Amino acid sequence: MKAAVVTAYGTAPRYLEFPGPKPAGEHEIVVEVLAAGLHPRVRMQADGSHYTSAGSGLPLVPGIDGVGRDADGRLWYFMSLNGTYGSMAERAVIDTRHSVILPAHADPLTIAATLNCVIASWLALTRRVTLRPGQNVLVLGATGGTGRMAVQVARRLGADQVVAVGRDPERLAALPGATATALTGDAETIARTGTEIDIVLDFLWAEPAAKAIAAMVSNRADPTRPLTWVNLGEMAGPRATLPASALRSTKLHVLGSGQGSLASTTMTTEIPAVAAAIADGAYAVEPDPVPLHDVEHAWSLPADSSKRIVIHRL
């Protein structure tokens, strides 16, 4: 079959022949892949920098999820957590226990662009912590695909205040669901808007996270009110320096949410509700479709967090 194939880390995948994956066991079936999102996580898989990359060899087909059609014409959303056979190929083997049948009216491009972005905060707020109605959430990296969805997910799960922090004032101002905004480096505004935040969803880490933690812990209305910091990504860098005093002077809890801290069965349990909500129009990240045969070009397109590149065969 044809697939996007990474033969050397640090180079874009090329449209090449690749052996088709073979189903093994009663739960695996082959689907024709229709659409697969080019998420930041997929770029990390393809350049070998994701924490799950250790041990997975080359060549590999990138892609961590997608929408496919089975021999009976049913649409599936599936996750490809196997590091070698990803979703950016003509065909994929899917494990039906980690996949869900989509409503017939679901748009493959929109599902492929949106589901990964929504499920991130959905899982974080329901499975890594439990957002209680009336609590307040701050989203760091709120203008990206996952950040924008996180603002909306938090509101739908009952958050009262949702502070959106990002680096583009115009896009922040246009964010649906945000009750307040702050620029990423504006410690004063983050401190002021963060006095009664309960949960932070952090897609950036590194300096923006360190600065926001310092600003928020120094200005808590009640330092004994728990502040739960959930890291989901590292768009600004993989390391942050935290002063020890931040952990002693407030009730700061730092944890992460992602593959590993969440079991794949936990992730799949939540997918049907999220997929149905997307199919019904509750959430949408705009897809930027690129045909599979142009995958190499897709890798060179400038980063644009307002939409999501989707590799497709429609």
Residue 188 host element (H or E): helix 187-193
Tell me whether strands 99-101 and 75-79 are parallel, antiparallel or unpaired: antiparallel
> Which helix or strand (DSSP H or E) is residue 44 part of?
helix 40-47
**What's the closest the beta carbon of residue 23 comes to ligand NAP, in angstroms?**
27
Please report whether residue 287 would count as binding ligand NAP according to CB under 6 A: no
Q: Does 194 participate in binding ligand NAP (rule CB under 6 A)?
A: no
- Choose the stretch contacting ligand NAP; rule: CB under 6 A; options: 91-99, 106-114, 116-124, 131-139: 116-124
What's the min distance (Å) between Cβ of 145 and ligand NAP? 3
Sign of CA dihedral 142, 147, 152, 154: negative
Identified binder of ligand NAP from the candidate list 116, 135, 136, 268, rule CB under 6 A? 116
Sole window of 66-74, 103-111, 154-162, 165-173 interacting with ligand NAP (rule: CB under 6 A): 165-173
Nearest to 228 by CA among 87, 130, 296: 130
166 binds ligand NAP (CB under 6 A): yes
Say if strands 65-69 and 75-79 run parallel, antiparallel, or are unpaired.
antiparallel
Torsion of CA 103, 104, 107, 112, to 10 degrees: 50
Q: Which is nearer to ligand NAP, 41 or 91 (CB)?
A: 41
- Between residues 126 and 225, which has the closer beta carbon with respect to ligand NAP? 126
**CA 122 from chain center: how many Å?**
10
Interacting residues with ligand NAP between 14 and 53 (CB under 6 A): 39-41
Binding site for ligand NAP (CB under 6 A): 39-41, 116-117, 120, 141, 143-147, 166-168, 184, 203-204, 208, 232-236, 257-258, 305
